[in-house]
Amino acid sequence: MRLTLYTDYSLRVLVYLATKPKGELSNIKEIAEVYDISKNHLMKVTYELGRMKVIETIRGRNGGIRLALTPEEINIGEIVRKTEEDFHLVECFDEDNNHCIISPVCGLKHLLNKALQTYLEVLDQYTLADVVKNPATLLSYFALSK
């Protein structure tokens, strides 16, 4: 299974924000520079994370973004589910576009579906706090990118 860049960037934004002291604002330009990714992509990502109420966006000259929840409240599985477009690992997972002739009797789709559910169950066991156990180490890597 491969996550989309959208989900990858969403998780990276959350990791970055989790390294900041509580309440400190960051901005899209700063995050884009640290990860060397498009500001336009990050604008879309932060907009959606704001709609999900995972981050807080503050407009204006002194505005920015920060976590709206504690890292312990942000579940990785939930973020992945909400940011992935779909989980169609194979054609038959998409009922509207399934043209596979063996789909009604195929055992592979059941095996893949079970694997997908297990994958998501593992992600559900972790929060952002689990991912950002040592913010100082992450910050040192962020500093190297500048």
Residues 6+ apart with CB under 8 A from 40: none
Phi, psi of 26 (to 5 degrees): -125, 175
Please name the fold of domain 5-144. Answer: Arc Repressor Mutant, subunit A (1.10.10)
E strand residue ranges, 15-139: 55-58, 64-67
Please state the domain extents for the chain. 5-144
pLDDT digits (tens, 9 = 90+) for 13-40: 999 999 999 889 999 999 999 999 999 9
Mean pLDDT by 10 residues, the chain (146 residues): 91 96 93 94 96 95 94 98 85 81 84 91 98 85 72
Neighbours of 96 (CB within 10 A): 5
